[in-house]
Homo-oligomer: A and B are copies of this chain.
Amino acid sequence: LATTSGIITITTDFGTRDGYVAAMKGVMLDICPDAGLVDVSNEVEPQDVMGSAFILRKTVDYFPAGTVHLAVVDPGVGTERRPLAVSCGGMYFVGPDNGLFSLVLADREPERIVELDNPEFWATPRPSSTFHGRDVFAPAAAHLAAGRSIESLGTTVDSMTSMHWALPISDEQGIQGWVVHVDRFGNCITNISRALVDERSDRRAFKCYAGNAIIKDFNTTYAEAETGDATLLFNSGDMLEIAIFRNSASELLDIRKGAAVNLVFADDKS
């Protein structure tokens, strides 16, 4: 038996209203009664593979070794896109081959990629053409959580669909990035890392142009900013974030997901 934590995390665009996630949980508990089920998010925008990957990526490293991450954002359900299980560094991923796993893993190389073509491990011999989450992916996740080997679930394959996060453009004068996520608080999270800013700024101060604002304030915590003033900070994932203490930066500054964010460095070191 393979190493398993018995935990299955769930990331879908199914919402929590229609019972789709519950049907998957029923299937999983029927196969692995002791599984610990944790919802990561079921509320990403429908069909938003990148948005789901962004959220899942921030959580996977906090779960115990041997955790299974079930991620079903599946606009191509029922078509030729392959159903996969992937192992990497003690984690498992289960879901459609749509690039999501490569975005979550980023630079980490998968150890094994398996196409879920062994019908013995499906919930039914004839899976529905519209709900592989229930009929193919949930049972595979549960079998992994129960300790079955990833090899047993189907045919080992060479590769999976690979997608890449768009990287910021940068030079000596500045950095141009994007807002990749707007969270519940209206905080705008960019794809500009602390490491990149440190390297390119070489301790020079900078201004940030985003939406309708030019932001110069830089703080370590939300509360250090004046209420109502926009601030920059590095968030818990060490990415540059635009925030307004006790308000929504996204709404007040008109910065949406996908918006350009330009850092311009001062001429002199501060």
Contacts and interface: CB of A to CB of B under 8 A. Distances in A.
A39 B93 CA distance: 23
B46 A19 contact: no
A41 B15 CA distance: 10
A26 B59 contact: yes
5 contacts: A9-B26, A20-B183, A26-B63, A29-B38, A130-B236
Interface stretch (A106-114, A146-154, A220-228): A220-228
Interface residues of A, number: 69
Interface of A: 5-7, 9, 13-20, 22-27, 29-30, 33, 36-44, 46-47, 55-56, 58-64, 67, 75-79, 123, 128-131, 134-135, 181, 183-185, 220-224, 233, 235-236, 241, 245-246
A29 B37 CA distance: 11
B19 A56 contact: yes
Given A62-B134, A79-B221, 15 more contacts: A5-B29, A9-B22, A16-B43, A17-B183, A18-B55, A18-B181, A22-B38, A22-B40, A24-B62, A46-B185, A77-B222, A78-B223, A79-B224, A128-B236, A129-B220
A75 to B, nearest CB: 6
A64 B29 contact: yes
Residue of A60, A223, A233 most packed against chain B (CB within 10 A):
A223
Given A77-B222, A223-B79, A38 B25 contact: yes
Contact of A223 (B27, B38, B75, B181): B75
Contacts of A30: 62-64
Contact of A58 (B14, B23, B184): B23
Contact of A63 (B29, B63, B236): B29
